[in-house]
Amino acid sequence: ETLDKGLEKSKTTFFDKLNKAVAGKSKVDDSVLDNLEEILVSSDVGVTTTLKIIDRIEARVAQDKYVGTGELNKILREEIAGLLSEIDSGNATDFVVPKHTTGPHVIMVVGVNGVGKTTTIGKLAHQFKSQGLNVVLGAADTFRAAAIDQLQVWADRTGVPIVKQEMGSDPASVAFDTLQSGLNQNADVIIIDTAGRLHNKVNLMNELTKVKRVMQKVITDAPHDVLLVLDGSTGQNAFEQAKQFTAATEVTSLAVTKLDGTAKGGVVIGISDQFQIPVKYIGVGEGIDDLQVFNKFEFVDSFFK
Protein backbone atom coordinates (compact mmCIF):
# COMPACT_ATOMS: atom_id res chain seq x y z
CA GLU A 1 0.00 0.00 0.00
CA THR A 2 2.82 2.38 0.93
CA LEU A 3 4.65 1.28 -2.19
CA ASP A 4 1.68 2.28 -4.29
CA LYS A 5 1.55 5.59 -2.50
CA GLY A 6 5.27 6.07 -2.79
CA LEU A 7 5.39 5.32 -6.46
CA GLU A 8 2.20 7.14 -7.32
CA LYS A 9 3.92 9.77 -9.42
CA SER A 10 5.91 7.28 -11.45
CA LYS A 11 2.87 5.10 -11.85
CA THR A 12 0.46 7.78 -12.95
CA THR A 13 2.81 9.27 -15.46
CA PHE A 14 3.99 6.05 -16.99
CA PHE A 15 0.54 4.50 -17.10
CA ASP A 16 -1.11 7.65 -18.45
CA LYS A 17 1.49 8.05 -21.16
CA LEU A 18 1.14 4.43 -22.09
CA ASN A 19 -2.62 4.74 -22.39
CA LYS A 20 -2.22 7.81 -24.54
CA ALA A 21 0.21 5.98 -26.80
CA VAL A 22 -2.29 3.24 -27.57
CA ALA A 23 -5.44 5.40 -27.61
CA GLY A 24 -7.48 4.75 -30.73
CA LYS A 25 -5.17 1.92 -31.82
CA SER A 26 -6.18 -1.70 -31.89
CA LYS A 27 -2.80 -3.19 -32.62
CA VAL A 28 0.82 -2.59 -31.81
CA ASP A 29 2.37 -1.01 -34.88
CA ASP A 30 5.45 1.09 -35.58
CA SER A 31 3.93 4.29 -34.29
CA VAL A 32 2.90 2.62 -31.01
CA LEU A 33 6.44 1.29 -30.66
CA ASP A 34 7.90 4.73 -31.39
CA ASN A 35 5.72 6.26 -28.72
CA LEU A 36 6.58 3.50 -26.29
CA GLU A 37 10.28 4.10 -26.89
CA GLU A 38 9.83 7.77 -26.09
CA ILE A 39 7.85 7.00 -22.93
CA LEU A 40 10.46 4.57 -21.65
CA VAL A 41 13.33 6.97 -22.33
CA SER A 42 11.49 9.87 -20.73
CA SER A 43 10.79 7.66 -17.70
CA ASP A 44 14.56 7.29 -17.30
CA VAL A 45 14.73 3.63 -18.21
CA GLY A 46 17.83 4.57 -20.22
CA VAL A 47 18.40 4.24 -23.95
CA THR A 48 20.16 0.87 -23.91
CA THR A 49 17.52 -0.85 -21.82
CA THR A 50 14.70 0.87 -23.70
CA LEU A 51 16.02 -0.40 -27.03
CA LYS A 52 16.31 -3.87 -25.54
CA ILE A 53 12.65 -3.77 -24.45
CA ILE A 54 11.50 -2.40 -27.82
CA ASP A 55 13.48 -5.08 -29.67
CA ARG A 56 11.85 -7.80 -27.63
CA ILE A 57 8.37 -6.44 -28.20
CA GLU A 58 9.08 -6.06 -31.91
CA ALA A 59 10.18 -9.68 -32.01
CA ARG A 60 6.96 -10.77 -30.36
CA VAL A 61 4.89 -8.64 -32.73
CA ALA A 62 6.75 -10.16 -35.68
CA GLN A 63 6.21 -13.64 -34.35
CA ASP A 64 2.55 -13.31 -33.43
CA LYS A 65 1.77 -11.20 -36.51
CA TYR A 66 -0.98 -9.39 -34.63
CA VAL A 67 -0.54 -8.06 -31.11
CA GLY A 68 -3.44 -6.05 -29.77
CA THR A 69 -2.76 -2.93 -27.74
CA GLY A 70 -4.67 -4.52 -24.87
CA GLU A 71 -1.94 -7.13 -24.68
CA LEU A 72 0.82 -4.55 -24.65
CA ASN A 73 0.55 -3.97 -20.89
CA LYS A 74 0.92 -7.65 -20.19
CA ILE A 75 3.88 -8.07 -22.53
CA LEU A 76 5.61 -4.99 -21.15
CA ARG A 77 5.16 -6.21 -17.60
CA GLU A 78 6.70 -9.54 -18.49
CA GLU A 79 9.63 -7.97 -20.29
CA ILE A 80 10.31 -5.48 -17.49
CA ALA A 81 10.04 -8.11 -14.75
CA GLY A 82 12.45 -10.25 -16.78
CA LEU A 83 15.00 -7.44 -16.78
CA LEU A 84 14.87 -6.85 -13.04
CA SER A 85 17.29 -9.15 -11.31
CA GLU A 86 16.05 -11.64 -8.78
CA ILE A 87 16.97 -11.08 -5.19
CA ASP A 88 17.37 -13.88 -2.78
CA SER A 89 15.42 -12.53 0.20
CA GLY A 90 12.49 -14.94 -0.18
CA ASN A 91 10.09 -12.72 1.71
CA ALA A 92 9.74 -9.30 0.20
CA THR A 93 8.67 -7.62 3.41
CA ASP A 94 11.59 -8.83 5.51
CA PHE A 95 14.74 -6.95 6.25
CA VAL A 96 16.77 -10.12 6.54
CA VAL A 97 20.15 -10.11 8.26
CA PRO A 98 22.23 -13.19 7.39
CA LYS A 99 24.23 -14.97 10.09
CA HIS A 100 27.97 -15.49 9.82
CA THR A 101 30.34 -17.63 11.85
CA THR A 102 32.85 -14.77 11.76
CA GLY A 103 30.68 -12.33 13.70
CA PRO A 104 28.25 -9.54 12.83
CA HIS A 105 26.86 -8.96 9.36
CA VAL A 106 28.75 -5.99 7.91
CA ILE A 107 27.17 -3.61 5.43
CA MET A 108 29.41 -1.03 3.80
CA VAL A 109 27.35 1.81 2.37
CA VAL A 110 28.69 3.91 -0.52
CA GLY A 111 27.26 6.77 -2.55
CA VAL A 112 27.73 10.49 -3.17
CA ASN A 113 26.50 13.23 -0.86
CA GLY A 114 22.87 14.17 -1.10
CA VAL A 115 21.52 10.92 -2.49
CA GLY A 116 20.02 9.90 0.85
CA LYS A 117 22.84 7.71 2.11
CA THR A 118 22.60 8.77 5.77
CA THR A 119 18.81 8.60 5.76
CA THR A 120 18.92 5.11 4.28
CA ILE A 121 21.39 3.98 6.95
CA GLY A 122 19.12 5.44 9.65
CA LYS A 123 16.05 3.73 8.21
CA LEU A 124 17.92 0.43 7.99
CA ALA A 125 19.15 0.74 11.57
CA HIS A 126 15.54 1.33 12.62
CA GLN A 127 14.31 -1.75 10.75
CA PHE A 128 17.00 -3.99 12.18
CA LYS A 129 16.58 -2.63 15.68
CA SER A 130 12.83 -3.23 15.58
CA GLN A 131 13.60 -6.88 14.93
CA GLY A 132 15.47 -6.88 18.23
CA LEU A 133 18.87 -6.97 16.57
CA ASN A 134 21.94 -5.21 17.95
CA VAL A 135 23.06 -2.58 15.48
CA VAL A 136 26.27 -0.51 15.45
CA LEU A 137 26.88 2.40 13.07
CA GLY A 138 30.28 3.60 11.85
CA ALA A 139 30.85 7.15 10.60
CA ALA A 140 33.59 6.48 8.06
CA ASP A 141 32.51 9.28 5.73
CA THR A 142 34.96 11.58 7.44
CA PHE A 143 35.33 14.21 4.73
CA ARG A 144 32.52 16.45 5.92
CA ALA A 145 31.66 17.24 9.53
CA ALA A 146 28.01 17.35 8.47
CA ALA A 147 28.10 13.70 7.39
CA ILE A 148 29.25 12.63 10.85
CA ASP A 149 26.72 14.91 12.57
CA GLN A 150 23.87 13.62 10.41
CA LEU A 151 24.71 10.03 11.21
CA GLN A 152 24.82 10.95 14.90
CA VAL A 153 21.31 12.40 14.58
CA TRP A 154 20.09 9.08 13.17
CA ALA A 155 21.97 7.13 15.84
CA ASP A 156 20.15 9.17 18.50
CA ARG A 157 16.81 8.85 16.76
CA THR A 158 17.10 5.09 16.49
CA GLY A 159 18.87 4.55 19.80
CA VAL A 160 21.76 2.76 18.15
CA PRO A 161 25.44 3.19 19.15
CA ILE A 162 27.73 4.97 16.74
CA VAL A 163 31.51 4.86 16.38
CA LYS A 164 33.08 8.04 15.07
CA GLN A 165 36.24 10.10 15.04
CA GLU A 166 37.00 13.69 14.13
CA MET A 167 36.33 15.05 10.70
CA GLY A 168 39.28 14.38 8.41
CA SER A 169 40.36 11.22 10.21
CA ASP A 170 41.19 8.08 8.25
CA PRO A 171 37.97 6.34 7.09
CA ALA A 172 39.71 2.96 7.37
CA SER A 173 40.57 3.67 10.99
CA VAL A 174 36.93 4.46 11.78
CA ALA A 175 35.84 1.27 10.02
CA PHE A 176 38.39 -0.73 12.01
CA ASP A 177 37.20 0.75 15.32
CA THR A 178 33.58 0.15 14.40
CA LEU A 179 34.11 -3.52 13.60
CA GLN A 180 36.06 -4.06 16.81
CA SER A 181 33.41 -2.31 18.81
CA GLY A 182 30.69 -4.31 17.05
CA LEU A 183 32.48 -7.57 17.81
CA ASN A 184 32.95 -6.59 21.46
CA GLN A 185 29.30 -5.63 21.81
CA ASN A 186 28.12 -8.82 20.13
CA ALA A 187 26.42 -6.82 17.42
CA ASP A 188 24.23 -8.59 14.86
CA VAL A 189 24.75 -6.00 12.17
CA ILE A 190 27.22 -3.21 11.54
CA ILE A 191 26.51 -0.45 9.05
CA ILE A 192 29.44 1.64 7.87
CA ASP A 193 28.95 4.96 6.12
CA THR A 194 31.78 5.64 3.65
CA ALA A 195 33.11 7.81 0.85
CA GLY A 196 30.59 10.50 0.03
CA ARG A 197 32.45 12.17 -2.76
CA LEU A 198 33.43 11.26 -6.28
CA HIS A 199 36.83 12.89 -6.46
CA ASN A 200 38.80 10.98 -9.00
CA LYS A 201 38.29 7.36 -9.78
CA VAL A 202 41.67 6.18 -8.54
CA ASN A 203 41.27 7.92 -5.19
CA LEU A 204 37.81 6.50 -4.72
CA MET A 205 39.05 3.03 -5.54
CA ASN A 206 42.04 3.35 -3.22
CA GLU A 207 39.92 4.63 -0.36
CA LEU A 208 37.29 1.90 -0.64
CA THR A 209 39.90 -0.81 -1.13
CA LYS A 210 41.75 0.34 1.97
CA VAL A 211 38.58 0.48 4.07
CA LYS A 212 37.74 -3.07 3.01
CA ARG A 213 41.24 -4.37 3.64
CA VAL A 214 41.35 -2.88 7.12
CA MET A 215 37.88 -4.24 7.93
CA GLN A 216 39.13 -7.71 7.03
CA LYS A 217 41.78 -7.48 9.74
CA VAL A 218 38.90 -7.59 12.23
CA ILE A 219 36.31 -9.72 10.41
CA THR A 220 37.93 -11.75 7.66
CA ASP A 221 34.95 -11.89 5.30
CA ALA A 222 33.73 -8.31 5.81
CA PRO A 223 32.05 -6.47 4.24
CA HIS A 224 29.29 -8.94 3.43
CA ASP A 225 27.32 -6.38 1.51
CA VAL A 226 28.46 -3.28 -0.35
CA LEU A 227 25.32 -1.22 -0.71
CA LEU A 228 25.35 1.62 -3.24
CA VAL A 229 22.75 4.33 -2.59
CA LEU A 230 21.42 6.13 -5.68
CA ASP A 231 18.92 8.97 -5.94
CA GLY A 232 16.12 7.68 -8.16
CA SER A 233 15.05 11.18 -9.10
CA THR A 234 18.32 12.03 -10.82
CA GLY A 235 18.01 9.79 -13.85
CA GLN A 236 21.20 9.81 -15.84
CA ASN A 237 23.26 10.99 -12.86
CA ALA A 238 22.30 7.84 -11.04
CA PHE A 239 23.52 5.79 -14.02
CA GLU A 240 26.80 7.69 -14.03
CA GLN A 241 27.31 7.15 -10.29
CA ALA A 242 26.55 3.45 -10.63
CA LYS A 243 29.20 3.29 -13.34
CA GLN A 244 31.83 5.02 -11.23
CA PHE A 245 31.19 3.08 -8.04
CA THR A 246 31.00 -0.30 -9.73
CA ALA A 247 34.33 0.50 -11.40
CA ALA A 248 35.85 1.43 -8.03
CA THR A 249 34.63 -1.47 -5.93
CA GLU A 250 32.49 -4.59 -6.02
CA VAL A 251 29.00 -3.29 -5.36
CA THR A 252 26.71 -6.11 -4.25
CA SER A 253 23.37 -4.36 -3.87
CA LEU A 254 21.56 -1.10 -4.52
CA ALA A 255 19.24 1.19 -2.62
CA VAL A 256 17.30 3.59 -4.83
CA THR A 257 15.94 6.58 -2.90
CA LYS A 258 13.37 9.34 -3.47
CA LEU A 259 11.05 7.25 -5.59
CA ASP A 260 8.19 9.09 -3.91
CA GLY A 261 9.18 12.39 -5.41
CA THR A 262 9.79 11.40 -8.99
CA ALA A 263 7.95 10.61 -12.16
CA LYS A 264 11.00 8.64 -13.15
CA GLY A 265 10.99 5.35 -11.25
CA GLY A 266 12.07 3.81 -14.55
CA VAL A 267 15.65 4.38 -13.49
CA VAL A 268 15.33 1.24 -11.36
CA ILE A 269 14.67 -0.83 -14.48
CA GLY A 270 17.60 0.54 -16.46
CA ILE A 271 20.11 0.35 -13.64
CA SER A 272 19.07 -3.13 -12.61
CA ASP A 273 19.35 -4.33 -16.20
CA GLN A 274 22.62 -2.65 -17.05
CA PHE A 275 24.58 -3.31 -13.89
CA GLN A 276 23.06 -6.67 -12.98
CA ILE A 277 23.12 -5.75 -9.32
CA PRO A 278 19.99 -6.42 -7.30
CA VAL A 279 18.01 -3.47 -6.03
CA LYS A 280 17.56 -4.42 -2.41
CA TYR A 281 15.81 -1.38 -0.94
CA ILE A 282 13.81 1.58 -2.17
CA GLY A 283 13.31 4.87 -0.37
CA VAL A 284 9.80 6.29 -0.61
CA GLY A 285 9.93 9.26 1.75
CA GLU A 286 11.91 11.10 4.37
CA GLY A 287 10.40 9.35 7.39
CA ILE A 288 12.00 6.60 9.43
CA ASP A 289 9.62 3.95 8.05
CA ASP A 290 9.89 5.04 4.43
CA LEU A 291 12.26 2.30 3.32
CA GLN A 292 11.05 -0.88 1.69
CA VAL A 293 12.59 -4.13 0.62
CA PHE A 294 12.44 -4.11 -3.15
CA ASN A 295 10.04 -6.59 -4.69
CA LYS A 296 10.20 -6.60 -8.46
CA PHE A 297 6.69 -7.90 -8.96
CA GLU A 298 5.20 -5.24 -6.69
CA PHE A 299 7.34 -2.68 -8.44
CA VAL A 300 6.16 -3.69 -11.90
CA ASP A 301 2.56 -3.85 -10.66
CA SER A 302 2.76 -0.35 -9.31
CA PHE A 303 3.77 0.84 -12.76
CA PHE A 304 0.84 -0.77 -14.51
CA LYS A 305 -2.03 -0.75 -12.07
Nearer to ligand GDP, 76 or 121 (CB): 121
Residues between 121 and 150 with contacts to ligand GDP, criterion CB under 6 A = 150
Cβ contact 280:87 at 8 Å: yes
Amino acid at 91: N
Nearer to ligand GDP, 124 or 218 (CB): 124
**Contact between 102 and ligand GDP per CB under 6 A:** no
Q: How far apart are CA 35 and CA 204, in angstroms?
A: 40
Nearer to ligand GDP, 35 or 113 (CB): 113
**Contact between 115 and ligand GDP per CB under 6 A:** yes
**Contact between 119 and ligand GDP per CB under 6 A:** yes
Is there a binding annotation on residue 112?
yes
Is there a binding annotation on residue 193?
yes
Is there a binding annotation on residue 230?
no
| CB atoms near residue 208 (< 10 Å) | 23
Minimum CB–partner distance for residue 44 and ligand GDP (Å): 16
Number of residues that bind ligand GDP (CB under 6 A): 18
Q: How far apart are CA 231 and CA 282, in angstroms?
A: 10
Amino acid at 60: R
- What are phi and psi for residue 39, nearest 5 degrees? -65, -45
Is there a binding annotation on residue 138?
no
Minimum CB–partner distance for residue 260 and ligand GDP (Å): 5
Nearer to ligand GDP, 44 or 79 (CB): 44
Q: How far apart are CA 272 and CA 274, in angstroms?
A: 6
Nearer to ligand GDP, 21 or 112 (CB): 112
Amino acid at 138: G
- Interface characters, 149-188, with ligand GDP (x: CB under 6 A): -x--------------------------------------
**Contact between 284 and ligand GDP per CB under 6 A:** yes
Task: List beta partners, residue 107.
Answer: 191, 225
**Contact between 237 and ligand GDP per CB under 6 A:** no
- In the β-sheet with 279-283, what is the strand arrangement from edge to edge? 162-163, 135-139, 189-193, 105-110, 225-231, 253-257, 279-283, 291-293
Q: Among 4, 38, 286, 289, indicate the residue that binds ligand GDP (CB under 6 A).
A: 286
Instruction: Give 191's Cβ-side CA count (13 Å radius).
Output: 29
Of 217, 224, 186, nearest to 106 by C-alpha is: 224
Nearer to ligand GDP, 152 or 216 (CB): 152
Is there a binding annotation on residue 196?
yes
Q: How far apart are CA 175 and CA 268, in angstroms?
A: 30
Pairing of strands 189-193, 225-231: unpaired
Q: How far apart are CA 74 and CA 60, in angstroms?
A: 12
Which listed range, 107-115, 128-136, 164-172, 198-206, lies at the site for ligand GDP (CB under 6 A)? 107-115
Is there a binding annotation on residue 265?
no
- Residues making up the annotated binding site for GTP are 111-118, 193-197, 257-260
Residues that bind ligand GDP (CB under 6 A): 111, 113-119, 150, 257-258, 260-261, 283-286, 290
